[in-house]
Structure 1
């Protein structure tokens, strides 16, 4: 070690001595950290492609993808009936609501409280057993922190533990706090069964409550997010990218969810509705049929239909403008408005002429088809301001930026939403972006940096590029979050020929079973090819057709099984989630979620099947994780501090 390095090390140890000013304090911390290393690894829960389905999402969050029921089985085994276990599970998921139901039929609530309090305490003990007392205490609900700590902490030196616990529980019931206590300890169990949550993309679009999901995530104790293409689209809209704004509104209109924008985020759509009703007053808009599943009245649906068409035409114009100002994107073939023959009512694509299903475009100037009308321009300016100044939307997007990224490596798993663009031979596919070439990990990282530039860059040109890159990520063939040769939105609306609707997937989706290709991706992101996994979503797994979410001999796990109701007819299930605990990897399949009310009344759960993907030979400990590596580094630093104290280089304070 050079003299300069020795000085740097001594300076660092002096700073460390401010936190641990004595040999005793440093030694105590080493012992504490070493103890943590030998605790069981915390449970990770992986969810993806939630698509606004907030009720199903909330339920899976409450049940920890089956982790709560597993804890109940661990504690009670065969000593409780299946019916009693279902009741206890439901009580943990929906404590307040379930107790309202129970009071309607239960004659002796005091006994009911006592029985279930004891059961909940036992489950809480098991859930807390893999954490330090310090971590558990930080998770305890404020109003009952001391009492819960007493009940779940083993007291080996007490002669009559049963009498002690009975006295506490009897007092809770006697003073009328049983229901509040049950709710508090149930929420603690939910908190403890999952140590860390991974959201592997697509919180937004299709379903009715992405804003509700975001509020829930913002209060979650520990999580990370890998952005999906729909998330980045909303981020682009929040940054003021007008084509992203138009896409967001179009998708909300198509799925009958404009209230997400109007009620959830307070975005005023009245000027757009006025244009839509004026321009398309007598237009049946048959090409713009909605996929709404809500119970909106006929008048509202009629307005949504016209908004759907109006914003779609605006979107195609705005996208044409992006393509023209970014020739490097090489998307000229996706500019289609100028390819329409207005007299014949046809369009020529790839040298072939097709009949248009709709030719009523009152806001399009055939000579300048990508120019917004004056009214369209005013509407988009107002919408841009509304998106930029919506506090709730901006708060949600800042949270995505803080907790999110395009990919993450965590505990020997590589997490990303879509794909890594590959050539047909399995090699990494290169692309040029702003005159530089990128592929693999570097492509992910440059796109990630441009997303952040779209929000924060001081240079106006770089900020505009960042905004356009968010649109690029949404639909470009080289976007890792899209991974198809085109987004055929225009063709699906206006052309009957199915051949034009085809979106050819990147070779990644064929090569996902090719071990050499997947090993290449793992190496590209700095992972070993032994024991590591790729976790991604984006493409629904069609279980009803026999498709398996476990790919490449278990190296790749595709966990988008269809949270979105729009996908469930296609997939046959209501989503996959993944659990990684100290014993290994478990893939969890879910049945469709009816409602929270049905779950409470019928004591039903949407967890339907657990499949072991990988069981470890020895139980994983904290020391085997990324956090464990950090703790070992801290221990090494503290041991160096002890040496410095003992050899006199640093004096105890």
Structure 2
């Protein structure tokens, strides 16, 4: 035993100071290895749709309803099962409705408590008692533990068990217990949550979603291009800030910035009203999706939309010129405008412009901000940097997130692995050095973190610019298109020049040779692994499928965002991976919470079994199992040290 090993065992001995404690932990860990693996839940491309997100989260993509079916079979009617499921999803709201409808509320409470206890037992049995205990609500932990661990069919315990229920009713605590049990079921039905990118933009509730994720028991996040955009904005990159505000304006969500994050937009509004007062700004329309959007704001929002878009084009132009290594000179378009003729030259061809009213653009120096724009940008930058809630959310994204993750034989990333047409990994120059495949992901992840945390200001600036690069460059693994045609979509009519061609990855992933190549690059077994990503909406209407390469690749962006649902034909895919295998779930749109509560309607979801295992997967078959086996090995070394006298049971000071 070398000195390093000895020091480690001495440290471990402080946690397990006796032979008995170390042996007990080995027994405990060995038994955990034989439990079924926990259920993993995958969501992607949420895009601020907080109501649909929360409903999918609460029902575990149908996992709660499946547990109800397993437990009660044909002993409950379908109506009663739907009612019980709705209660578990929204216990507080459902109880309010029930109290108004039920004549004998105590009877309803009694029946409901027994049913919830049964479901709680079913969802908790594959966890250790210690893990279940940690999940219990503090106020009722002891009583709930008694209810879900005792067996009512044992004669000498039946009276005790029933008396607990009677007392809960007699002291008028049934509603609180029903709420506690419902939340416990939600908590235990899913062991771990994966968010495969794009929490932000389009929908109005990303801040609500992030508040929920920050309180979720176990979660990881793979950053999407919309996430890195907000990360760059929070770090102070002005090109990212302009993009964030433009997208919020485009989808009628400026209120989210003001009310959700407290970002002061008055300087932008004042500037826009003055600068574009005679301009209808028709090319900068508002694609609002929320029913509560106030159409009285439409005229002002259009002007703000145009103002921030022109500012964005200027700031991005400055960044591209300052970073020639990004090789994005083709996206410099303001200097290609002929204002006299009303045309712009894009990719060597002249196109007529729908709008040439750009009063702040100097044809001789098009990328310089006007004094008014400079003031607006500086005030917005200050607002983003000093927004405590936004900074808290972004720090969470950094702490729980990354550009990719390998977890239980699955490779998770938002977009793609950049390829060339010949099927080779694309070599990408990042600040003077070429990277490809996994190494490209790693270096970009590193620079993203530097953009927020680095003490060296030069390195921080490089990192902040990489966050914008990740948002929109064709070599970015979270974007993966030839260009972001924002300029073309606003002011040109030609659909061909607006096209954003996908990276060859999206064609090559139908071929097993290339999928295996990616898996090997990230250290995965090609026989039993999967790639899970989003980013590209799967258009079910056109016959597209999320399953690629015979189920080895799953693209689970099915349009959870309202902005995509008319295109995809559904309202999102999610994935559930439990001890029996993988299930892909396709969802219909979430209409309203009131409808769910009152009519006990759920989102209709269709499930496809992607993979079903012959032998149920155990904790031993997971990454956690590998960690447990390593811990057992170390504990055995500690036992050996105790028994050979290298370390004494009391020698832990």
Counterpart Cα distance in 1 of 2:360 and 2:83: 59
Maintained 8 Å contact 1:43/1:581? yes
Tell me by how many angstroms 1:284 deviates: 1.4
Q: Which string of whole-angstrom CA distances, capped at 9 and with x for unpartnered residues, describes residues 551-600 of structure 1? A: 11110011111110010000111101000001100111111001111111
Secondary structure of the residue aligned to 1:65 is coil
Between 637-646 and 400-409, report the one with greater CA deviation: 637-646
Between 183-192 and 348-357, report the one with greater CA deviation: 348-357
Matches within 5 A, 1:501-516: 501-516=498-513
Tell me by how many angstroms 1:155 deviates: 4.5
Matches within 5 A, 1:127-276: 127-155=123-151, 158-276=154-272
Return the match for 1:364 from 361, 365, 385.
361
| Alignment: residue pair count | 649
1:336 partnered with 2:333? yes
Return the match for 1:41 from 32, 37, 47.
37
Match in the other structure for 2:83: 87
Match in the other structure for 2:550: 553
Q: Which string of whole-angstrom CA distances, capped at 9 and with x for unpartnered residues, describes residues 364-420 of structure 1? A: 111100000001001101111110000000000000000000000000000000000
Tell me by how many angstroms 1:7 deviates: 2.6
Matches within 5 A, 1:94-113: 94-113=90-109
Match in the other structure for 2:624: 627
Match in the other structure for 1:291: 287
Tell me by how many angstroms 1:154 deviates: 3.3
Match in the other structure for 1:456: 453
TM-score, structure 2 as length reference: 0.98
Tell me by how many angstroms 1:157 deviates: 10
Maintained 8 Å contact 1:314/1:372? yes
Return the match for 2:115 from 119, 122, 144.
119
Secondary structure of the residue aligned to 2:299 is helix
Counterpart Cα distance in 2 of 1:604 and 1:158: 38
Maintained 8 Å contact 2:289/2:563? no
Maintained 8 Å contact 1:256/1:292? yes
Maintained 8 Å contact 1:245/1:384? yes
Mind listing any 5+ residue stretches in structure 2 that lack a counterpart?
A: none
Counterpart Cα distance in 2 of 1:517 and 1:109: 61
Counterpart Cα distance in 1 of 2:577 and 2:377: 45
**CA RMSD, aligned part only?**
1.1
Secondary structure of the residue aligned to 2:216 is coil
Mind listing any 5+ residue stretches in structure 1 that lack a counterpart?
A: none
Counterpart Cα distance in 1 of 2:584 and 2:265: 42
Between 14-23 and 139-148, report the one with greater CA deviation: 14-23
Maintained 8 Å contact 1:65/1:607? no
Secondary structure of the residue aligned to 2:524 is coil
Matches within 5 A, 1:518-529: 518-529=515-526
Secondary structure of the residue aligned to 2:419 is coil
Secondary structure of the residue aligned to 2:74 is coil
Counterpart Cα distance in 1 of 2:267 and 2:466: 28
Match in the other structure for 2:56: 60
Counterpart Cα distance in 2 of 1:370 and 1:335: 9
Match in the other structure for 2:399: 402
Tell me by how many angstroms 1:296 deviates: 3.3
Match in the other structure for 1:584: 581
Counterpart Cα distance in 1 of 2:205 and 2:580: 34
TM-score, structure 1 as length reference: 0.98
Decide whether aligned partners of structure 1 residues 175 and 425 sit closer, same or farther in structure 2, where only a CA change above 3 A counts: same
